[in-house]
Amino acid sequence: MDQTKILIVGGSSGMGLALARRCLDEGLTVVIAGRGEARLSAAREELGRPAALETATVDISREDEVAALFEDIGWLDHIVSTAADIEGAYRLLPEVELSAAQRVVESKFYGPLLLAKHGAPRLPPTGSLTFVSGIAAYRPAPRGSVVAAVNAAIEGLVRALAVELAPIRVNAVSPGWVDTPIWQLVAGEKKNETLAAMAKRLPVGRVGRPEDIADALRFLIGNGFTTGTTLHVEGGHRLV
């Protein structure tokens, strides 16, 4: 297990950072990748600069950068992407800007597609790819049409890749509302108020934590009999 190597795209914050911390605690070698060197450096410091941690700068919407990333990394056992660029995406339809919608598609759909294309040849037969969709695919709300559509699309991609890339396993985690920095973009100053209102609605009585999603991602990475699956970790949100 101590030789296991995992790439976490989006590992500098939120769910990805929580997964990186857990994997490092278990003795895995971890590569966290993202677009910003400053955020990667901050994550490295937060994780205590362990010897088993590597960082890599990459824009996963650019195929040349994804190909170069895997050339640099070499062998891998597992690939995870929690990356999402949703800035400006939560708008009512008349206000949707195509450029913002394109950024969501590039980060949450094209990115995983390119990671699979260039990363799968680096994985062993026991390896896995794990992506992140989200509750918006099941409980869409006004202003969320773009995110809902892309979340649904990534789950379709997961099922198709699980067949095409077998025996490599391909899965997705679908989080509910999780208290991560992304909510500053979604709700701004009303973040805490918005999350508290949802907590009252959910059967579990709280919103998610990054560690909740890290647990689910870690399960999918480690369970050799799960593929083509979307694991829902949303506190019962689909029921209310």
Residue ranges covered by each domain of the chain: 5-239
Question: What is the CA 145 to chain-centroid distance, rounded?
Answer: 19
CB neighbourhood size of 53 (10 A): 20
Q: Which of 13, 133, 145, 174 is catalytic?
A: 133
Report the run of H or E that residue 7 belongs to, with start and end.
Answer: strand 5-9
Check if 133 is active-site. Answer: yes
What integer is the mean pLDDT of 59-68?
Answer: 98
Residue 34 bridge partners (DSSP): 57
* Per-chain mean pLDDT for the chain: 95
Least confident residue range of 89-98, 180-189, 195-204, 211-220: 180-189
3-state secondary structure at position 159: helix
pLDDT for res 1: 41
pLDDT for res 218: 98
Q: What is the CATH number of domain 5-239?
A: 3.40.50.720
Q: Is the predicted pLDDT of residue 188 greater than 90, yes or no?
A: no
Q: Check if the beta carbon of residue 224 is closer than 8 Å to that of residue 166.
A: no
Tokens of 29: 């070698």
Helix spans in 47-139 (H): 63-73, 98-105, 111-119
pLDDT for res 181: 78
* 184 pLDDT tier (thresholds 50, 70, 90): confident
